[in-house]
Amino acid sequence: MTELPSHIKAITTPEFGDPDVLTLESIPCPTPKDDEVLIKVSAAGVNRPDVVQRQGHYPPPPGASDILGLEVAGEVVATGKDVTTLTNGDQVCALVTGGGYAAYCTAPATTCLPIPKGFSHIDAAALPETTFTVWSNMIDRGQLKAGEVFLVHGGTSGIGTTAIQMAKAFGATVITTAGSDAKCTTCRSLGADRAINYRTEDYVEVIKSEFGGVDVILDMVGGDYFARNIKCLDPDGRHISIAMLKGAKADINFMPVMLKRLSLTGSTLRARDTAFKAAIAENLRTHIWPLLDQGKIKPLIDSTFPLGDAAKAHKLMESSQHMGKIVLTT
């Protein structure tokens, strides 16, 4: 049995504020609960919710670690007494409710998935948060089907790069928006059929003239995009909100919602219970992991930072200059 340290290095947030509040400290090594495993972390994904939590606007769910980090990859080094599906030495990536910015992290066994074939731990650490989120919203809530037209905003974000590839794998026509010509080129390289530079083109006009409309929209922008998105939706279209970068309030006309029989929905994932996330994990294992094993879907990694440079990673995230995922390494 691997001898575990009593204390580990982790990024803490002694106070809320700008990225420089993030501090590398020594904390007690976490202990897995009966249904959990302890992972020796090789890499941890950085996500927008981490930034919002650091700013003081996204508290962890009750019982979750207050250490930032929602996804990790590494080696299982201890298991709870009820865990039968994993054993010490297994190489996994995992969706967690917190604790990822650390040398060791606990995770429910049911939200762990194997490292795909040919993937580094850095690649694998970029998978859980985006694949779980995209599956839950684009497939489960949005019911995207082959032959439909799909729009995702923020095409070079972690969610965007994943959604483009997953939607194409499911046979959809994919449209995305991004903030530069270079980002649009990246989106097309991932499979987007049309990438719209929102700084130089009106995405509503482009969609109306080139596609007529879309069936499903995955939106992370909110604000004034909400009403504009409704204009893009075809009859029986589905709009899924998963973030509100431009604000949670919108002034919209509900008449098109009624006339076009639109479905407006949204969700957050972090606070959902383990059973809900486990069901998503099984769908990913069945439908997405084979595509990862075959190299048909692969995360786009923008940059990596040592764990102690988490502040630099957050500054890059806030600049929105990155394309793809930002990952911390231990």
Q: Mean pLDDT score of the chain, rounded to an integer?
A: 97
Q: What is the structure's pLDDT at 2? A: 67
| Residue 8 clears pLDDT 70, i.e. is over it | yes
pLDDT (tens digit, 9 = 90+) per residue, 38-65?
Answer: 999 999 999 999 999 999 999 999 999 9
Q: Residue 24: enclosing H or E segment and its boundaries? A: strand 23-28
Q: How far is the C-alpha of 205 from the C-alpha of 211, rounded, in Å?
A: 10
| Residue 1 clears pLDDT 60, i.e. is over it | no
Q: How many CB atoms lie within 10 A of CB 66?
A: 11
Helix residue spans in the chain (DSSP H): 48-54, 121-125, 128-134, 158-169, 181-189, 203-210, 225-232, 255-259, 274-283, 289-293, 310-319
- Of 80, 129, 104, 88, residue with least CA distance to 26: 104
Domain residue ranges of the chain, discontinuous segments joined by +? 7-127+270-329, 131-266
The arithmetic mean of pLDDT across residues 89-114, rounded, is 98
CATH of domain 131-266: 3.40.50.720
Q: What is the structure's pLDDT at 3? A: 86
The arithmetic mean of pLDDT across residues 203-218, rounded, is 98
The arithmetic mean of pLDDT across residues 145-163, rounded, is 97
| Residue 170 structure tokens | 């499911």
pLDDT (tens digit, 9 = 90+) per residue, 224-273?
Answer: 999 999 999 999 999 999 999 899 999 999 999 999 999 999 999 999 99
The arithmetic mean of pLDDT across residues 281-290, rounded, is 98
- Counting Cα atoms < 13 Å in the Cβ hemisphere of 205 gives 5
Give the predicted TM-score (pTM) of the model: 0.97
The proportion of the chain whose per-residue pLDDT surpasses 90, expressed as a percent, equals 98
Q: In what order do the strands lie in the sheet with 263-266?
A: 194-197, 173-178, 149-152, 214-219, 233-241, 263-266
| Residue 100 clears pLDDT 90, i.e. is over it | yes
**Contact call for residues 68 and 131 (beta carbons, < 8 A):** no
Query: Would you say the CATH fold of 131-266 matches that of 7-127+270-329?
Result: no
- Of 66, 87, 69, residue with least CA distance to 78: 87
Q: What is the structure's pLDDT at 196? A: 98
Helix pair angle (181-189, 158-169), 10° resolution: 40
Domain 7-127+270-329 top-level CATH class: alpha beta
